[in-house]
Copies of this chain bind each other. A is one copy, B any other.
């Protein structure tokens, strides 16, 4: 007879041990149930000040202390697929202590810090909503925040939100928007030994590449944070055979635009950059950015509590903070780990990041280490 033992998480454990325990419960997107169970059990068993709600594989925990403001802290439980990098390994490299393995950086370090604080922070200056959610590393439609925003938006209501994505324990405000556009040129197919009876669709892409290569991207400064826009061809394709003049070619353009720009304005801008060229432009994907909202009182209190030792910068990549922005909630990213290591085979988190982010949030949430 086989008895499965459900893993148990102890929120009072050292932050490194707690992170390792969370990392070692494999939870590739779609397989978050066991970790969600463990998080739910830890919250129910150790934090009487919290209302705990289970929705699918998302666990939500809230204080109801009647305070003026509510801050939401969210971290996703899932990871991208493994690369033979579980269980986690604690190591020292070039004099630095690290925890390595899938999810250590993106973003179980942040989940561990939030889980620990959810239990500890029973006297914070604001009411708190903790969200541990599933399906972030897959299509937006499957992301649990999409479902919750549509079906139970009251659970996500807050004055300010903090997403535990890796920022090397600095604050990264808002995020840029992103848009993908398929640019297609047409020509007339012909044998490549008689090109004068045809028209080369690949050659028609020349001015597209030329304009984008010469493009000088805008740097938008918002709340003293600099968002650098990016406009690039990220994929290009065309060709029928080695002896044929192709009648179709296409370039996939990715525009990362500052959060003061709407999706409509972003589209208009790309069309303006490519104006006068004979081509078709189709938007295949778009998501608005998120303004940092650092002027919001809840954000100001948060930043003031963290102190001057914590860096504040713009988030360049798109993250789920944009979902909160869409709900009218200003949001920042704040978590341990270097975002550039996310999804890599050598994913790891410096132990110092775990400790610094925990201590910074403890200052803000008026938690005395126990």
In whole angstroms, how far apart are the Cα atoms of A318 and B178 in the complex? 47
- Is the CB–CB distance between B232 and A195 below 8 Å? yes
Interface residues of A in 283-309 (CB under 8 A from B): 285
Q: A283: shortest Cβ distance to chain B, in Å?
A: 13
Name A's B-contacting residues (CB within 8 A): 176, 178, 180, 191-196, 200, 202-207, 209-210, 212-213, 217, 228, 230, 232-246, 249, 251-252, 254, 256, 285, 316-318, 340
Task: Find the B residue at minimum CB distance from A213.
Answer: B203
- Is the CB–CB distance between A239 and B236 below 8 Å? yes
Instruction: Count copies of this chain in the complex.
Output: 2
Known: A176-B193, A193-B316, A228-B196. A239 touches B235 (CB 8 A): yes
* Residues of the B chain whose Cβ atoms lie less than 8 Å from the Cβ of A178: 193, 243
- Is the CB–CB distance between B245 and A252 below 8 Å? no
Task: Find the B residue at minimum CB distance from A230.
Answer: B195
- Is the CB–CB distance between B192 and A203 below 8 Å? no
* Residues of the B chain whose Cβ atoms lie less than 8 Å from the Cβ of A192: 230, 232, 234, 254, 256
Contact of A203 among B200, B209, B237, B246 (CB under 8 A): B209
In this complex, which of A195, A204, A238, A243 has the most chain B Cβ atoms within 10 angstroms of its Cβ? A195
Known: A193-B316, A228-B196. A241 touches B234 (CB 8 A): yes
